[in-house]
Amino acid sequence: MKWAAFILLIALALSASAATQPKEVGSSQVFIELNWTLGFGDNLPPKFTFTAFGFPDNAWQKSRFESGAGHEFTEKKDEFGNPVVEYVFAPQKSIEELSLRAFVDVNYLAPPQAGEPGNYAEFTSLTQASPAIRAQALRIMTQTNDTLERASLVGEWVNNRVNYDGLGYGLTVENASWVYENRLGTCDEYAHLMASMLRVADIPVKFVAGFVCSTNCSQSENWGPHAWAEVYADGYWYPFDPTFNEGIVLDATHVKFAEGRDQNDIKERLSATAYNYPLEDVTFDRSTQISLDSQKPFPRLASMAINATNQPVGEGAVEKVSVTVKNLLNRTIAVPVSLTAPREISILTQQNALLYLPPHETRVYSWTLLFPQTFEEGYIYKFPIRIDSIGQNSSTIITGKKGGLTETIANLTVTDSYTYLEGEVLYLKLTLKNLGNQPLKDVPISFDTDYGTTRTSLSLDPAQSTETTLRIPLNATSGQEINGLLTIGAYPKITQKYVITLPEQPPASVPTDLETLSFSLEQALAIAIVIILILALYLYRKA
């Protein structure tokens, strides 16, 4: 019997690394140095003010900070209670440097932060919910009335549906509706969309800014600015990070420096005391140095057991891998689980889940995997499968061979759908995926509404995902509800109901009686002035 060195590089990549990874860090001591360089050129203002954020003390972190090189600061609080450092100085040279050094202890296993809901349930320009966001949020949150479970479901949905793509925190900021429609963004956008969806249910959500480690936390370049959320439930605030699919308990590389309703509330500010001073001419550069001075691993929060077939799978096999997770604590937690497999295997279902677990409860979560379509005769293939969580991971190996177990499966699913309006046309955008090992040919799709029916068909290869958009012209009034029924042919047959409420349209601008009267009075006054001048001239000449 020959043994293949199949997917050797993948197996090596899956092996444990000596580097400290973020999800291993249960508590930490982090040193952060922020440096700002301001360039004034030859035009020095008599007094200049620069305002930035310090690092707060809360339930999860204790911090102290001090001035580094350059000028001293005065500590204040902003309207959200954030510590603010204000540097006020008279520039003496064209380049001035400022510095802040922070020493922060972090531990998200501490009890949650007590507080008040404030106005954090209100929508903002960056979190305003479109009708499509409202519909999707309600579809998710009608599964439960528990606020923290709702937050876990929404965080998981955002993590799996939005693709991480962009310049990074704070460099571009898109509103929630744009993110929902384009399914792109960085941590800012993830947090804005999560806040928008939860605020649909009047759940208060804070936008949080800080720093985080992405990988190998011993290297300073792997730390950077980050954004996440805090969710209010029953008198306490709980952290959720939809970018990294964490909730209630975060890894201790999350270092917070400010909070607000959205990204617009968290900005560094420049001002000068000089008449008409051109602030736009001041150059500004920021650099950051972060080190993980010490850390302790997570204690065991939950038990994890992988369940997978112990029989060799055959060509094109579709198999389920599941994990049984039990909360070992006397408090509610949300346990992230993520499956990693060699690139030759297609993960047909969503890769990441955030399992909401009250004390000592157990949940089972499963993934569907599609194995390669071709195996060579006489080889045994070993496929390493790993499931990562916060503070731990678990792994197994599934073997494959030509002639192994293969069941013929035809299975089509809708992985995502949403409606939107453009002018007087209603669109239903669908993402469908073939979860089986058989090609699906000419699958019929129809969308029936009160205003007509549209039909199409599509074909998908095994593991293929595709998008299609159905279009319905409307002749409806604003505020009206439209009923829709989506029907997708076999494999198995899928039906899904939609209720779409058309948004209210703002009234057209029509001059009011007051505006008309005002215009008439102006005309009358002008005429009266002309008459008086003519009369005065007549009397003058007569005299």
Q: List the one residue out of 388, 529, 406, 483 whose CA is nearest residue 14.
A: 388
Per-residue b or e along 460-496, where b marks 16 or more CB atoms closer than 10 Å to that residue's CB: bebbeeeeeebebebebeeeeebebebebbebeebee
Measured between alpha carbons, how far is residue 399 from residues 11, 314, 324, 454 in Å?
Answer: 13, 9, 21, 46
Span 257-283, pLDDT tens digits: 999 999 999 988 877 776 688 988 999
Specify the pLDDT at position 474. Answer: 82
Residue 114's H or E segment, with its range, is strand 113-114
DSSP secondary structure letters along 54-75? -----SSEEEEEEE-SS---EE
Best CA proximity match to 221, nearest among 290, 303, 302: 290
Chain Cα centroid distance, residue 410 = 33
The CA-CA-CA angle for residues 462, 466, 472, to 5°, reads: 140
Write phi, then psi, for 135 (nearest 5 degrees).
-65, -45
pLDDT of 442 above 80: yes
For residues 339 and 322, the answer to whether their CB atoms sit within 8 Å is: no
pLDDT at site 534:
58
- For residue range 339-370, list pLDDT tens digits in order: 999 999 999 999 999 999 999 999 999 999 99
Rounded Cα gap, residues 81 and 243, in angstroms: 25
Lowest mean pLDDT among 121-125, 211-215, 480-484: 480-484
Residue 41 has pLDDT above 80, yes or no: yes
pLDDT surpasses 80 at 479 = no
Q: What pLDDT digit, counting tens, does each position of 328-340 carry?
A: 999 999 999 999 9
Based on DSSP, count helices (H) and strands (E) in the chain, helices before strands. Answer: 6, 32
Res 524: pLDDT:
44
pLDDT, tens only, 52-65: 999 999 999 999 99
State the Cα–Cα distance between residues 371 and 319, nearest whole angstrom.
8
The per-residue pLDDT for range 502-518, each reduced to its tens digit, is 665 544 333 333 333 33
CA distance from start to end of the chain: 132
pLDDT at 268: 82
- Point out the least confidently predicted range of 196-205, 313-322, 452-461, 515-524: 515-524
pTM score, whole prediction:
0.84
* Domains located in the chain, CATH noted: 24-108+268-297 (2.60.40), 114-208+224-241 (3.10.620.30), 300-400 (2.60.40.10), 412-501 (2.60.40.10)
Q: What angle (nearest 5°) sits at the alpha carbon of residue 288, between those of residues 286 and 291?
A: 175
187-199 helix and 147-161 helix, angle to the nearest 10 degrees: 140
Residue 88 burial by Cβ neighbours in a 10 Å radius (0-12, 13-18, 19+):
middle
The residue written with tokens 């703002």 in the block is 506
